[in-house]
Chains A and B, each alone.
Chain A
Amino acid sequence: MSAIQVTNESLEKIMSDPETIVTGKPLAAVATSERSEPGESWLVRAGQIIGIAVKWMIPPVLGLALFIGIWALVSQSSPQLPGPAKTWESAQILFSDPFYNKGPNDMGIGWNILASLQRVGIGFGMAALVGIPLGFMIGRFQFLSAMLAPIISLLRPVSPLAWLPIGLLVFKAADPAAIWVIFISAIWPMIINTAVGVSRIPPDYMNVAKVLNLSEWKIFTKILFPAVLPYMMTGIRLSIGVAWLVIVAAEMLTGGVGLGFWVWDEWNNLNVEHIIIAIFVVGIVGLLLEQALVLLAKRFSYE
């Protein structure tokens, strides 16, 4: 009770004191002048940006740190598994000369990445050339759709590597067989997404086509293709993902130059650091491919 009374009294004193009002004014003025000073505000804004960036960066950095921490712990208890530090050292040596060439069984990591990318590129490219037009036709013609639906449902769930022996048998060479595996595993998402896109075209657009009496070519270029493009891009993205997923396994079996073969080769050499590096390389390249296609897809979306 007494404390409250004291504060009430002191408050009254302060309120009635003319000095309070006098000193209050310059204080406010100081505060506003501080705010309007350009150097200060720039600092504040920079601070805010850094704050947002830190907030945005913390979770992924924390996640990666946790991952490396667990990896380090596991590697300490199991002596065969190299730890993060040892792998990093090894990676630095490896990437210092990525394009050396000491014969077909000993090439730099750069050559191996390029060889894998080339196979994926060819296999995926051929799958796109066949799969996208086929998807359009399946979406456009009910008869074709009914005809091919059972084949697609039957073959789609088959593991990509099951196609490898057929490829080896038909092409009698490892490289075309690996490309064949990429082709057959990358084709399904493109066929299916394109066909779904065609079947989901708003009926209004097709009525426009009918009323304007557009030729089949005009219908394709002015209505079907633009309307299906977003669906097609989804198919392409899924296909690239599958193709990149499959290439390592296919190359392990077929040999030659390439990331998959390189992993197998380093396993035979018992160079586990390199296997771990290969895992990271496969992951990073896959991530880059995906991001590139996401950017491409954004360019092709309407409204």
Chain B
Amino acid sequence: MEKYVQIENVRQVFNTKKGPFVALRDINLNINQGEFIALIGHSGCGKSTLLNLVAGLTLPSDGAMLCAGREIAGPGPERGVVFQNHSLLPWLTCFENVYLAVERVFGQAESKTSLKKRTHEALALVGLTHAEHKHPHEISGGMKQRVGIARALSMQPKVLLLDEPFGALDALTRAHLQDELMKIAAETHSTVVMVTHDVDEAVLLSDRIVMMTNGPAATIGEILHVDLPRPRDRLALANDAKYHEYRGAVLDFLYRRQLRPAA
């Protein structure tokens, strides 16, 4: 296991009208290759801010961030991002949305046929071959999110970053996509960082759960190692004592030690 993403003493300050606002402080985290990390915390704790930092969408005010030994200076194709609200371009079909990413990463080295093949494969991976030529407004929310995942995966990223990817979906669709994500992560050996506010989702999917303290000036409160064998099955885990222990630990952190006075 090699450290793939390194975050050292990162601090993020936003300049607001009321003066500087410290969103994150003293963030230290090493993410190993192939690891599945969940970032959990109450809303406003800066978990999305941390994800955006890893994505390179914003740069830290202080501290160092490395990905594969190189400083993160901006977004890069080795870090695929799945956005909270799918962020598909409405004027492009599902195929074209994914193709845009494929073309950017592999366009210079590969032929058009090969780019199209990659796009088909990415959509097949999330089970959307039948909806390739539909526009985003013609498909369901769960399908849109899957296209978003396919777009991120099609770039063959080393790290997959997901910002509350299933937050807007109904419970059944969410469970289905969680299972698919587990399968895809196992197949592609991806390193995954996922922001979530769902305790079950965090325990089910991750190897480590990074629990954040409340903002402002949020930091990592505790890191929980989830030592459950893979592949994991949600039905079997429902009666697993260890699973409930982990779940209890996260709930304890969120609702006893970090309970917000007014939220």
Which of A211, A226, A303 is close to B75, meaning CB atoms less than 8 Å apart? A211
Interface size class of B (residues with CB under 8 A): 20 to 34
* Distance from A211 Cβ to chain B, minimum over Cβ atoms (Å): 5
| CB within 8 Å of A: which B42-96 residues | 55, 57, 74-77, 79-81, 83, 85, 87, 89-92
Asked if A212 CB lies within 8 Å of chain B CBs, one says yes
Q: Which residue of A lies closest to B86 (CB)?
A: A204
Question: Using Cβ atoms and an 8 Å threshold, which residues of chain A touch B104?
Answer: 212-215, 218
Complex CA gap A218/B89 in Å reads: 13
Main secondary structure of the interface of B (DSSP, over half): loop
Judging by beta carbons under 8 Å apart, are A204 and B83 in contact?
yes
Q: Is A200 an interface residue (CB 8 A)?
A: no
* B13 in contact (CB, < 8 A): no
A210 to B85, alpha carbons, bound, how many Å? 16
Given the known inter-chain contacts A213-B75, A218-B100, please indicate yes or no for A207 contacting B83, CB distance below 8 A. yes
Give B191-211 as 1s and 0s: 1 = Cβ < 8 Å from A's Cβ atoms.
Answer: 000000000000000000000
Q: B244 at the A/B interface (Cβ < 8 Å)?
A: no
> Closest Cβ of chain B: how far from A87's Cβ, in Å?
49
A35, CB-defined interface residue at 8 Å: no
Asked if A208 meets B87 with Cβ closer than 8 Å, knowing A213-B77, A303-B137, the reply is: yes
B83, A208: Cβ atoms closer than 8 Å: yes
Given the contacts A210-B57, A211-B81, A213-B77, A205 and B100 also touching, CB distance less than 8 Å: no
A contact residues around B91 at 8 Å (CB) = 226-227, 302
B105 to chain A, nearest CB (A): 8
A-B contacts, 22 of them at CB < 8 A, read A204-B87, A205-B89, A207-B57, A207-B83, A207-B87, A208-B83, A208-B87, A210-B74, A210-B75, A211-B55, A211-B81, A213-B75, A213-B76, A213-B77, A213-B104, A215-B104, A218-B104, A222-B92, A226-B89, A226-B91, A302-B90, A303-B137
Residues of chain B at the chain A interface (Cβ within 8 Å): 55, 57, 74-77, 79-81, 83, 85, 87, 89-92, 100-101, 104, 137, 155
Q: A210-B74, A222-B92, A302-B91 are in contact. List 10 more A-B contacts (CB 8 A).
A: A207-B57, A210-B57, A210-B75, A213-B76, A213-B77, A213-B104, A222-B100, A227-B91, A303-B90, A303-B137
